[in-house]
């Protein structure tokens, strides 16, 4: 048997294939297609303290090989998730990663605190949110603010902490190092790239908020490069994502330095894609005579 299990610095996954927050809901719709226990982990839809209705429509625009979304973190709030969704997810033998979001540092801390007596496996701190107290600039674009958010969450939380980085920065290494220093046990990257579509008839941006986030195969080469760069800057494990559509893509991310991968947009195109990726990774290991998947992590650097 080939070894597929990986360890994200304390978060042990049976295999390196997970799903990206916001593209898998809380798993219910996908449970009709396959056994969720086959996933290494599930990162649930981004949660906030209170329910959020999200942005006005249109919220999703299709591009040639991706999506621009402006969902605006629509979610039922942390209390609903704890009561209604955790019992459902806990039926499966997979790890639960809770993606948390806030308008300010205290909100992140309050959600992390609320999760202290809740049975989850990791918290993914999404620092791609606008910092309302700081003119709407993303927390994840300023290393000092990114450090402060993570430091505060780490101080309060008893859980394993992953920090989800935005790719919309000049140098990912600076942000990755800042959150590592603040105590993050792992980083996940990338979130979506800031993007826009303009309607040539109305001559105006299509999205009410003007810009949104680009995801899907279009961003894969950009994301691979950012994972490669981050790997060279930090010693904590990376959960890599951005446009993964098949096992070749997943393996590429691992060679760049990801210890595990997450599939996002492609779940909408093929709900079985994660299962095909797990099988494809096993086939690759046989073909290459690799007995332990950990052997390929970061291999492109050496």
Ligand X SMILES: Cc1cc2nc3c(=O)[nH]c(=O)nc-3n(C[C@H](O)[C@H](O)[C@H](O)COP(=O)(O)O)c2cc1C
Helices marked H in the chain — which ranges? Answer: 78-80, 86-89, 105-114, 143-156, 172-181, 220-233, 247-256, 266-269, 273-288
Alpha-carbon distance 296 to 6, whole Å?
Answer: 11
Size of the site for ligand X (CB under 6 A): 26
* Of residues 36 and 127, the one with the C-beta less far from ligand X: 127
The correct pick among 112, 207, 244, 281 for binding ligand X (CB under 6 A) is 244
- Contacting ligand X within 273-302 (CB under 6 A): none
Question: Any idea how long the chain is?
Answer: 302
Question: How far apart are the C-alpha atoms of 138 and 150, rounded to whole Å?
Answer: 14
* Closer of 67 and 105 to ligand X (Cβ): 67
Contacts for 53 with CB less than 8 Å, ≥ 6 apart: 74
Contact pattern from residue 44 through residue 83 relative to ligand X, giving x for each residue in contact according to CB under 6 A and a dash for the rest:
-xx--------------------x-x-x-x----------
From the list 44, 47, 129, 150, the catalytic residue is 129
Q: Rule CB under 6 A: which of 107-126 touch ligand X?
A: 126
**155-194 residues near ligand X, rule: CB under 6 A:** 164, 191-192
Q: Which stretch binds ligand X (CB under 6 A): 50-58, 82-90, 146-154, 261-269?
A: 261-269
Can you state the angle between helices 273-288 and 247-256, rounded to 10 degrees? 60
Question: Rounded to the nearest whole angstrom, what is the least distance from the CB of residue 156 to ligand X in the complex?
Answer: 20
Closest CA relative to residue 71, chosen from 107, 104, 30, 23: 23
Q: How far apart are CA 189 and CA 142, in angstroms?
A: 16
The yes-or-no answer on residue 220 being catalytic is no
Q: Which residues bind ligand X (CB under 6 A)?
A: 20-23, 45-46, 67, 69, 71, 73, 99, 126, 164, 191-192, 215-216, 219, 241-244, 263-266
């Amino acid at each position: 048997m080939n070894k597929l299990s990986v360890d994200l610095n304390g978060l042990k996954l049976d295999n390196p294939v997970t799903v990206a927050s916001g593209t898998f809901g809380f798993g219910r719709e996908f449970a009709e297609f396959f056994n969720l226990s086959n996933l290494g982990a599930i990162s649930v839809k981004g949660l906030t303290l209170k329910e959020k209705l999200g942005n006005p429509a249109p919220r999703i625009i299709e591009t040639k090989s991706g999506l621009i979304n402006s969902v605006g973190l629509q979610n039922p709030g942390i209390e609903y998730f704890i009561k209604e969704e955790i019992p459902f997810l806990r039926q499966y033998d997979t790890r639960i990663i809770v993606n948390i979001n806030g308008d300010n540092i205290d909100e992140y801390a309050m959600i992390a605190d609320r999760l202290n007596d809740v049975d989850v496996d990791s918290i993914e701190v999404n620092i791609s949110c606008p910092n309302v107290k700081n003119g709407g600039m993303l927390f994840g674009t300023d290393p000092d603010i990114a450090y402060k958010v993570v430091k505060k969450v780490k101080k309060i939380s008893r859980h394993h902490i992953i920090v989800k980085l935005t790719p919309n920065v000049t140098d990912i290494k600076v942000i990755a190092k800042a959150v590592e220093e603040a105590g993050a046990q792992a980083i996940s990257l990338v979130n979506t790239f800031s993007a826009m579509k303009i309607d040539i008839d109305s001559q105006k941006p299509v999205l009410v908020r003007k810009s949104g986030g680009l995801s899907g195969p279009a961003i894969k080469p950009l994301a691979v490069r950012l994972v490669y760069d981050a790997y060279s800057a930090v010693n904590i494990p990376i959960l890599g994502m951005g446009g993964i559509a098949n096992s070749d893509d997943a393996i590429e991310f691992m060679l760049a330095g990801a210890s595990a991968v997450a599939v996002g947009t492609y779940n909408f195109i093929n709900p079985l894609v994660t299962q095909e990726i797990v099988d494809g990774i096993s086939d690759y290991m046989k073909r290459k005579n690799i007995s332990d998947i950990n052997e390929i992590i970061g291999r492109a650097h050496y």
